[in-house]
Structure 1
């Protein structure tokens, strides 16, 4: 299954679903009312899921997170701030583009931003989330990507999934040839032929092994007790051309992966 890299706008699959116990206003004016748009927002008591949607002639915006996030006030506040920042940027960029369109006599296409957070794993101390986002800014196609967020319930702080490890390179080394083999196997399925062994690197990286530093890392759990699964997500244009989309690879935690984890987080992991 399905991860901060950008690529072409299409829905993302939830990474590591099987690993989960379950799976800027420019000048202060409300752009929605200014454009005669409809807006809706739901949610929002502690412990509740959140879903905010706004659509008008200038932009469309949506942001959502599940009830597990609503149950952690500090985390909910962190993501609410993220939503406000994203909306402010969207409005500012949309207004700038519309001004340019009017000045240069070309049609303005409404911009959009959406992000949805989903639970990858909910452990006693940690909540692992994936944040699927998509943007459109008037071009031929949009962009999308995936973020990783692991919230430490005890410390009331969050981090990217890869921050649990000593470095991206350490995790790369721990996964080793398995990462390259899994990537090439998936490439072969999509292309209908194996990646040539003598293909080498043509500068695109579409035939060579890719690395954790260019991926989004998610940590999952098969039973909700410990992290025992690792998800590696490469956005389109990283491991293959646009048409191939993103690459989603999953691996069990083993002794080598645990060795790559920072000592302070090793108790949260177990080998399968």
Structure 2
């Protein structure tokens, strides 16, 4: 075989391999936003794409980040890297499941989506709500809430406990959250059982504030947080069909508990207290 012929065969083989890889996994970035300064690319745009998608016969996964992270390149890069790693692990698990049980290979692929939504922001802090959806062929999909609070100056995550004074007794906030949850449940079902911090005979109970994901609530005072929005997933305080709750608690209910470093970030009132799930 002549050298030119051999080169053509190798080139064709490489092209076919690349095409197959492209079909197995697609990573997409949104169209570039209109540049602010003569086409200059911001650090956030350079750090990571805003979306990720991968699809094969085992799993379909996706990640979506909000425009709010563009101004925080370190946060942007970390959320993208951690999200992609989580989704790739999910895909590997889906493949392992399907290859172990060959009888269900004709079923639809597993699915998982992670979407971050911009929530309240102050001079020091930005918060994001994490909505995830997972379907592995069970009786129903598994939605879940999570939250991120980021210190813009320190460029690091703020853990829930860090928002409050060290050793602060959060029992008053626990009770305020529980009262709001019961009110929200009665709005959906007037006959809903009242629950407390300890499990009832039916097994339901109110979650503790310190172990419940929350984001900052917008405020009537510009640049401040008017409270916290606690994110409670389906099947956490009632039957799955009852759905999840987003409970806004005003900062006046916990202001005395705040850590000095973040107390000044709170003022005013949230647009609404109680359940805001259906407000969009």
- Is the TM-score greater than 0.5? yes
Q: Aligned-residue CA RMSD in angstroms?
A: 3.1
Q: Does 1:154 align with 2:153?
A: yes
Report the equivalent of 1:184: 182
Report the equivalent of 1:235: 233
Equivalent residues in 2 for 1:95-244, closer than 5 Å:
95-102=95-102, 104=103, 107-166=106-165, 170-171=169-170, 173-175=171-173, 177-195=175-193, 201-202=200-201, 204-205=203-204, 208-222=205-219, 223-244=221-242
Report the equivalent of 1:77: 77
Report the equivalent of 2:5: none
More helix by share: 2
Q: Look at both structures and tell me which one has the larger radius of gyration over its CA atoms.
A: 2
Unmatched tracts of structure 2, length 5 or more = 1-16, 33-40, 270-280
Q: Residues 101 and 107 of structure 1 are in contact (CA less than 8 Å); yes or no, is this contact kept in structure 2?
A: no
- Bigger mean CA offset, 262-271 vs 37-46: 37-46
Equivalent residues in 2 for 1:3-82, closer than 5 Å:
33=20, 36-37=23-24, 39-43=26-30, 46=42, 47=44, 50-82=50-82
- Bigger mean CA offset, 92-101 vs 162-171: 162-171
Quote the Cα distance in structure 2 between the aligned partners of 1:139 and 1:197.
28
Gap change, CA 1:99 and 1:167, over 3 Å in 2: farther
Q: Does 1:258 align with 2:251?
A: no
Stretches (4+) displaced over 6 A: 197-200
Q: Matched residue pairs, number? A: 237
Quote the Cα distance in structure 2 between the aligned partners of 1:96 and 1:155.
40
Which one scores higher on RCO, CA 8 angstroms, separation ≥ 6? 1
